[in-house]
Amino acid sequence: MPTDKTADTSIFERRESEARSYCRSFPTVFASASGSIMTARDGREYIDFLAGCSSLNYGHNDPDMKAALIDHISQDGIAHGLDMYTVQKAAFLDAFERRILKPRGMDYKVMMTGPTGTNAVEAAIKLARKVTGRRNIVAFTNAFHGMTMGSLALTGNSGKREGAGGGSLADVTHMPFENAMGDKDTLEYIEWVLENPSSGMDDPAAFIVEPVQGEGGLNAASKDWLQGIQRLARRHGALFIIDDIQAGIGRTGSYFSTEEFGLDPDMITQAKSFSGMGLPLAALLIKPEHDIWKPAEHNGTFRGNTHAFVTARVALDKFWADDAFQNDVQRKGEILRQRLAGIAALVPGAALKGRGMMRGIDVGSGELAGRICATCFENGLIIETSGAHDEVVKVLAALTIPDDIFTKGLDILEAAVRDATGSGRIAAE
Amino acid sequence: MPTDKTADTSIFERRESEARSYCRSFPTVFASASGSIMTARDGREYIDFLAGCSSLNYGHNDPDMKAALIDHISQDGIAHGLDMYTVQKAAFLDAFERRILKPRGMDYKVMMTGPTGTNAVEAAIKLARKVTGRRNIVAFTNAFHGMTMGSLALTGNSGKREGAGGGSLADVTHMPFENAMGDKDTLEYIEWVLENPSSGMDDPAAFIVEPVQGEGGLNAASKDWLQGIQRLARRHGALFIIDDIQAGIGRTGSYFSTEEFGLDPDMITQAKSFSGMGLPLAALLIKPEHDIWKPAEHNGTFRGNTHAFVTARVALDKFWADDAFQNDVQRKGEILRQRLAGIAALVPGAALKGRGMMRGIDVGSGELAGRICATCFENGLIIETSGAHDEVVKVLAALTIPDDIFTKGLDILEAAVRDATGSGRIAAE
Amino acid sequence: MPTDKTADTSIFERRESEARSYCRSFPTVFASASGSIMTARDGREYIDFLAGCSSLNYGHNDPDMKAALIDHISQDGIAHGLDMYTVQKAAFLDAFERRILKPRGMDYKVMMTGPTGTNAVEAAIKLARKVTGRRNIVAFTNAFHGMTMGSLALTGNSGKREGAGGGSLADVTHMPFENAMGDKDTLEYIEWVLENPSSGMDDPAAFIVEPVQGEGGLNAASKDWLQGIQRLARRHGALFIIDDIQAGIGRTGSYFSTEEFGLDPDMITQAKSFSGMGLPLAALLIKPEHDIWKPAEHNGTFRGNTHAFVTARVALDKFWADDAFQNDVQRKGEILRQRLAGIAALVPGAALKGRGMMRGIDVGSGELAGRICATCFENGLIIETSGAHDEVVKVLAALTIPDDIFTKGLDILEAAVRDATGSGRIAAE
Amino acid sequence: MPTDKTADTSIFERRESEARSYCRSFPTVFASASGSIMTARDGREYIDFLAGCSSLNYGHNDPDMKAALIDHISQDGIAHGLDMYTVQKAAFLDAFERRILKPRGMDYKVMMTGPTGTNAVEAAIKLARKVTGRRNIVAFTNAFHGMTMGSLALTGNSGKREGAGGGSLADVTHMPFENAMGDKDTLEYIEWVLENPSSGMDDPAAFIVEPVQGEGGLNAASKDWLQGIQRLARRHGALFIIDDIQAGIGRTGSYFSTEEFGLDPDMITQAKSFSGMGLPLAALLIKPEHDIWKPAEHNGTFRGNTHAFVTARVALDKFWADDAFQNDVQRKGEILRQRLAGIAALVPGAALKGRGMMRGIDVGSGELAGRICATCFENGLIIETSGAHDEVVKVLAALTIPDDIFTKGLDILEAAVRDATGSGRIAAE
């Protein structure tokens, strides 16, 4: 109706750049959100299985974070303080030390980079080059580390790389991720390249790896493979960097995605759910011996977002004071695995991907995956694809999602898969 | 005293990276801030002449922005929505169109980049390369455009460039800024380089210029010089990009820093004070004919910070609905000019720098400038240096600063200059 | 003796750069050479199993080439004519067309590059980039294509790459050569990388491959593998470049090293034995449709060495007018294979490498290979190593070597291997 | 006539790459050459004012060089010996030490690079980077240093740079040559860039400069300017490299082109006339303390061309044993200057360029210069243009040219200028 403006998106079409993307998959205008439910301007509710691409691991607008933030703002708490010392940053660092580092026996310095994941990655590769005096960084096939020029050089996707318009994306070698070469042992290949002085590869400053490749199709590396990469890095004088931006902060069932793998990374990136509430915040964790930055050698106006420190502290105290949350995430991850296994069985050739609460189904084609997600949206579920060909339907629900909503969302997904593949609904009953 | 923890900064020293910097100049722990006053944990108040490096043009915690943001949070307004359509983004875009673009007869698409200035710059240079099919970007001596690898390539400062650890910073040509070569006409030189097919310079995709170089020492380009650069860009098939991150959004006395210069840039970057309240937000304004991005060709998790849209909309409606604010900024800029002229006269060889409310004094040495700022801080004034040698004492007060506080801050500055230069206090009386 | 200056190398030590190398393996001063014999200043004769690293396929100072060159010089024939038209170049091109191109049904333009192999390679990669509008070149592990910056980027050896002192060696992807990954099918891996849009590899302008890797350890690619590379190149819009500098011009038993492989390369490089007499000459053969150079777009003062055209024409008429020479090379190649097989059997774990008259033995370590070669030299045989670890003893005898000298040289080699490995001489009898 | 094949160039059109260039300016087929006369297949004689672009400073086929080379070949002297020790190389080095280095009090190591100028330049920049640990090389506007990727990065001409097809030409900063900016002092500008830590220029490994820019338009740097560049290099920890490939070896009136300038370069390149007879030969002279190459770290099959050593030794003994030759070159250079001054007066706005026997006239347009050269060729004179716009008619006669032939050539040039500019021939009489 002409007088109903709820579906009006003309301002976006008129004024927002063509670079916009998620809005094309979810063509409605959202107004509010709470927990795992997003509500559009027209009042329609959607279950959120995207969770800000893993930026909302604790759900939308956690009441404790809200309360703390409103309190902070009401009292004229610092909103922007560059990288000055603030009581809010102190409280956050203290909580991070008590809740995360100490219980895990980890000793890292926290570098507040610009509040985006790509900035944390840029800081990591700059520092690795400074520390080692080498330039080459090893990244992996299907990797996604960001869209600024330094991070883009690490990113595998050719479409995204072409966005650089031909600007220089040098000093990176891409190596095959685990299982990238079918049944071939990629570690063995990488080792051969490193140890062959005529392989054409320059000595690496660092290896940077996502334990579960989020954008790359939910490829989950094994403990053995990651230990192998760390061992190769050590042996060849390179640093070992975990990019935990998407897989970390509880997503796989523990705070860091590789806690049970016995690794000892030189740096770890943090972003996305780091602030707890989806506010921009990123950091680079650095082993003290590598923290050789000179003051301001990497800086940025918004490094250290004080509002985000407030919510992040709440998140640390609320969810990481004991094992309860972590155990519940693991329980839900197992539910998810079982449900997806059942759904995958409906699609010939489909494969389960991922780990913990970061799982999906490779349905074999981007076209099919896209159709499934579109049907889900029509039925009230926000869900997206990933992978080199967008062939993986990816479930990134909030870790706090109530069981009933989780089940309801998975039911919508299953129905959409049945629709798309012609498996009858009756068969499901 | 052991029991007084107000001066305790041990958590920062223990856990924060050595890259931290402003906290070294202002060694106290801040707790809250309002308008132009920052208050430390020990209750001491400081006048803020830094304003988040121009990120707080409207001062700390503007009451209307606070109210709107608290209201938004209370109602479970979206905190993080990727780049989906939201009512908050619609309201912001609508206000930006009505308050800024239309009154100035400007037609631009708004690209929500990652919420940092460097990300907006990265997007600009990627797009310029895509549009022109060329790689080379012309930046200027003393330029600062950010610290990620693409932006860093544009940045002049060698210390910051060395932070890249030798990673590739290619495809950029640095040209002399206006007055960089003493009394020589740099436009003439740049024209000669462009028109000489054997100058060694590849055809440029774009020129990117800060109308007032913030980090570079408050070098203010003239109307004629900027028009000359735009004309050279046009004649040589290159785009003309204004980086208005530090100088824009009212700082020089109008919304854009070059409004009265008759320019027609192909792109304009926005960040720092763009959100109004110091929250992370950045954008790239793009002429519609250049908006050739494919969906998600440049993306980022935190592009479009919904809290920031809320406060930014308030800022647009409150400060840019009529000329009152702008006129007041111009009035204050003139006060600042006069006071700084008087202060500069105390320092042999000192020179005034900058424009509008973005002014400073080149005192000839970084050592002297540093001593002046340190004395100011002891006396309750937050103020910083800039310039290639940190030789410029820079005043970046909030544009909303009350006259009495402004005067008080300038008095502290004047006294510090007298102290540092041995001009007697009596002479000042 | 002090008065005997035959062993005096002081002028070299005093005045020649430390970059000199072969003279360190063969520490005598040579005075003259004929066929397969080099004679030192002290009169001692050496059998030459190095043949100028395959630059002297027709032996030293072929009498017909000598006569033609002396005649040319005596008549004031052009010595240096830039790239002007000369009767000598015409005669050479005519012979190349009649003796090489036409009989093989090949249609190529001949580009006279600077007279070094590296220059022909540089021309090839520049042209491939111009033709395709892409930048990335695929080269292979253990490849050697030259030492100038463009060619060096293609070269695998890290020691040689480090010689660039950190200068940019960008826009190249190294892929595993056949058998580089043990029993894994490298074609399959390369195909996967090319077809995975997120592998991190930019679309290639060209693949450049040595059919037998000379410096890389005499790795001989199979017909199937080379056809596979050509097929991948075609399918992905890349040019297919054969670098035949070391393996071509008869070395493997036919003029081009891949004549019987059914390939159709877009470009072929020629150097080393191209002039017949070891004079500097190089060329790039280009399919006519790719010959899009503008005049002088790649040039060089010494492109087209007229003395070399004279000797090259003699070589074409003398050795390539019929099959006799080619058949004899193949016969000798088989002799070589049999003798090396016998010698390899003396070294536990040793492997035969190479093809035709370009063969060697991988003795497993550079130390052992070096000792063998040193012993050979003491006994009058010039022979060198190759491979990433200098682990291959390489026989590159002149193709014209008389059978008795060939046998004598192989006997010296066998004896040296016996000495080095402790296999008794008696056992050899 | 169909049966007259003297004008037949079809084999070149059919088989030689479109990259060929000089043959287009001089469309005849040359057969022989002696001194300053080239003779075409049809018997027509041409005076040579190009001299192989300064590769034939001693003229074509010097009788003593011919005799020595024929003698060498007749006796089976080494034609190709890689970089082994040979009596011919020893004799050459000994002569170079006695005739060139010692009399000038110079102590340099001689590195035999691949026998092309571009290879010597590549070696120089690689070594400068190794020595300093820095990457950036300063080259100058209008510079020409060669066409391989490393040298091309130094070369100013955009057409030639575009020949790289977009491949990476990084790590070079182009600075204005003397007088490149009209009456502005370019030294002052360069100093400002070097001393401003925010100029955007990375610390340089080296400055490389042609004392007279051959391809760039015969721009001759002054003693003061070159001393200034050397001083800046020293002060900033960079090496100072003279590229003497075109201007050296007698061309400006002394062996090195800067002998009277009191310079002390760290490296000097040699090529073009280095062999004396136009045979491919190049070298890099290196101060002993910088000769830190590891064996073979920069190599190449044709480094050290033994035939060229033979002729080069003759050239050193014949022309550089005393001052006679040098004095005669200076005398001719003065004749040339006077004649060109008279000719330049015929062209409004024309300017004299160059130094010694490396001079020309800037006639203001490439079209006019091209017409003049074409008319010269019709009248029996080989002469070429240079400069960014090919606007300089360049005289590069052999230094040994007899006075009568020199006068005759200059008369042809003068007549062509008169024709082209409409100055009557009568006026010339």
Q: Which C positions 156-185 lie with beta carbon below 8 A of chain B?
A: 166, 168, 170
CB contact under 8 A, D156 and B198: yes
Q: Is C98 left (phi over 0), alpha (psi -120 to 50) or beta?
A: alpha
Chain C residue at shortest CA distance from D133: C165
CB contact under 8 A, C166 and B168: no
Percent share of chain A, pLDDT over 70? 97
* The domain defined by B78-319 carries CATH number 3.40.640.10: yes
| Gap from B198 CA to chain C (nearest CA, Å) | 14
What's the CA gap between B147 and B216, in Å, rounded? 14
Q: Which residues of chain A lie closer than 8 angstroms to D168, CB-CB? A: 168, 170
CB contact under 8 A, B165 and A205: yes
Q: Which residues of chain A lie closer than 8 angstroms to C155, CB-CB? A: 200
With contact defined as 3+ CB pairs under 8 Å, the chains touching D are A, B, C
State the pLDDT at residue C4.
41
CB contact under 8 A, B166 and C166: yes
Cut 0.90: pTM above it: yes
CB contact under 8 A, C139 and A200: yes
D14-28 residue pLDDT tens: 999 999 999 999 999
CB contact under 8 A, A189 and C200: no
Residue D183 pLDDT class (50, 70, 90 cuts) = confident
State the pLDDT at residue C166.
76
> Cβ distance D293 to C159 under 8 Å?
no
What's the CA gap between D192 and D180, in Å, rounded? 16
Residue B102 pLDDT class (50, 70, 90 cuts) = very high
Averaged over A153-166, what is the pLDDT? 81
Instruction: Give the residue from D134, D151, D198 with the most B CB atoms within 10 Å of its CB, the best one to mutate.
Output: D198
State the pLDDT at residue B253.
97
CB contact under 8 A, A301 and B55: yes
Residue D2 has pLDDT above 50, yes or no: no
State the pLDDT at residue B185.
85
Of B139, B181, B201, the CB nearest to D200: B139
Residue C296 has pLDDT above 60, yes or no: yes
B9-43 residue pLDDT tens: 999 999 999 999 999 999 999 999 999 999 999 99
A390-401 residue pLDDT tens: 999 999 999 999
Residue D182 pLDDT class (50, 70, 90 cuts) = confident
CB contact under 8 A, C159 and A203: no
Token output for C85 = 């038209």
CB contact under 8 A, A198 and C141: yes
B179-193 residue pLDDT tens: 887 777 899 989 989
State the pLDDT at residue B424.
60
Residue spans per domain, chain D: 4-62+324-421, 78-319
Q: Which A positions 286-305 lie with beta carbon below 8 A of chain B?
A: 286, 291-302, 305
Averaged over D72-101, what is the pLDDT? 97
Residue C310 has pLDDT above 50, yes or no: yes
Q: Which residues of chain C lie closer than 8 angstroms to D277, CB-CB? A: 79-80
Residue that is written with structure tokens 């059914």 in the block: C262
Q: DSSP string covering C374-393, please?
A: HHHHHTTEE-EEESTTS-EE
Contacts across the A-C interface (CB distance below 8 Å): 111
| Gap from B136 CA to chain C (nearest CA, Å) | 15
Of C135, C142, C202, the CB nearest to A158: C202
| Gap from D389 CA to chain B (nearest CA, Å) | 8
Of A161, A193, A388, the CB nearest to C196: A388
What's the CA gap between D297 and C147, in Å, rounded? 9
Q: What is the mean pLDDT of chain C?
A: 93
CB contact under 8 A, D78 and C31: yes
Averaged over A178-190, what is the pLDDT? 86
Of D142, D184, D197, the CB nearest to B198: D142
More confident residue, B370 or D3: B370
Q: What is the mean pLDDT of chain D?
A: 94
Please give the radius of gyration of chain C, using alpha carbons only, rounded to the nearest integer. 22
Residue A258 has pLDDT above 80, yes or no: yes
Residue A224 has pLDDT above 60, yes or no: yes
Of D166, D170, D184, the CB nearest to B184: D184
State the pLDDT at residue A267.
98
CB contact under 8 A, B181 and D192: yes
**Span A4-62+324-421 CATH architecture:** Alpha-Beta Complex (3.90)
A81-128 residue pLDDT tens: 999 999 999 999 999 999 999 999 999 999 999 999 999 999 999 999
Residue A232 has pLDDT above 80, yes or no: yes
Percent share of chain B, pLDDT over 90? 85
CA angle, A111 then A215 then A125, to 5° = 30
CB contact under 8 A, C301 and D29: no
Beta-carbon contacts of residue A3 (< 8 Å; ≥ 6 apart): none
Q: What's the 3-state SS for chain A?
A: CCCCCCCCCHHHHHHECCCCCHHHHCCCEEEEEEECEEEECCCCEEEECCHHHHCCCCCECCHHHHHHHHHHHHCCECCCCCCCEEHHHHHHHHHHHHHHHHHHCCCCEEEECCCCHHHHHHHHHHHHHHHHCCCEEEEECCCCCCCCHHHHHHCCCHHHHHCCCCCCCCCEEEECCCCCCCCCCHHHHHHHHHHCCCCCCCCEEEEEECCEECCCCCEECCHHHHHHHHHHHHHCCCEEEEECCCCCCCCCCCCCCCHHHCCCCCEEEECHHHHCCCCCCCEEEECHHHCCCCCCCCCCCCCCCHHHHHHHHHHHHHHCCCCHHHHHHHHHHHHHHHHHHHHHCCCCCCEEEEECCEEEEECCCHHHHHHHHHHHHHCCEECEEECCCCCEEEECCCCCCCHHHHHHHHHHHHHHHHHHHCCCHHHHC
B208-261 residue pLDDT tens: 999 999 999 999 999 999 999 999 999 999 999 999 999 999 999 999 999 999
Q: What Cα–Cα distance (Å) separates residue C81 from each residue in C94, C276, D40?
A: 18, 20, 12
Residue A221 has pLDDT above 50, yes or no: yes
State the pLDDT at residue D423.
79
Residue C428 has pLDDT above 50, yes or no: no
Q: Which residues of chain A lie closer than 8 angstroms to B299, CB-CB? A: 19, 21, 147
Residue A4 has pLDDT above 60, yes or no: no
| Gap from D108 CA to chain A (nearest CA, Å) | 31
Residue C3 has pLDDT above 60, yes or no: no
State the pLDDT at residue D7.
60
Residue C424 pLDDT class (50, 70, 90 cuts) = low
Chain A residue at shortest CA distance from D134: A133
Domain A4-62+324-421 matches domain A78-319 at the CATH topology level: no
| Gap from C192 CA to chain D (nearest CA, Å) | 25
With contact defined as 3+ CB pairs under 8 Å, the chains touching C are A, B, D
Residue B313 has pLDDT above 90, yes or no: yes
Q: Which residues of chain A lie closer than 8 angstroms to B298, CB-CB? A: 19, 147, 163
Q: Report the complex ipTM.
A: 0.95
| Gap from A170 CA to chain D (nearest CA, Å) | 9
Percent share of chain A, pLDDT over 90? 85
What's the CA gap between C203 and A257, in Å, rounded? 33
A289-346 residue pLDDT tens: 999 999 999 999 999 999 999 999 999 999 999 999 999 999 999 999 999 999 999 9
